[in-house]
Amino acid sequence: MRKILTGLAWVLGAAAPAWAAPDASEQVQYDAFVMAAGASNGAARACGASEPDLAQHQATSRKNLLQYAQEYGFSANGYDALFQKGQAEGKTMMDEMKRSGVDGCRGVLGGFQNERVMGYEEMKGALAEVNDGLPGESAK
């Protein structure tokens, strides 16, 4: 399930020199990362994750993604709205899966538990993996 959520958000990919400001497609991709974090949170809520775990996931995502934005020059001005939009989409997706008879909660909650304690370097590595590198790096 985690792969589905992150795959939906991380399909865009572009690289620019590290010294250059991010281009529009890179900003869209960063925004998609924020929405994917929100979607994971919303899906976990729909699957019954505890309030303390949801709060920790949200705080960890915020810390890591704002640091990423600062490191690579992305605008994080819309962070909260994007995260909330992702939460709503993640919850809707899980509700629709449940209505169709698919229970993806085990996968969602497993990924969610990992993400809620994920350090910055680990998150950055995960983003690089799904994105064929980090901003400013050539595709691998």
User: What pLDDT does residue 119 have?
Assistant: 97
Place of tokens 């505890």: 50
Is the model's pLDDT at 55 over the cut of 50? yes
Question: Which band of pLDDT confidence, cut at 50, 70 and 90, is reported for residue 135?
Answer: confident
C-alpha span between 115 and 28 (Å, rounded)? 21
Domain limits, the chain: 2-8+21-130
Query: What average pLDDT does the chain have?
Result: 85
C-alpha span between 32 and 2 (Å, rounded)? 14
List the structure tokens of 33.
């990362």
**pTM (predicted TM-score):** 0.82
Q: Report the pLDDT averaged over residues 64-73.
A: 96
List the structure tokens of 32.
């998609």
C-alpha span between 68 and 51 (Å, rounded)? 25
User: What pLDDT does residue 122 have?
Assistant: 96
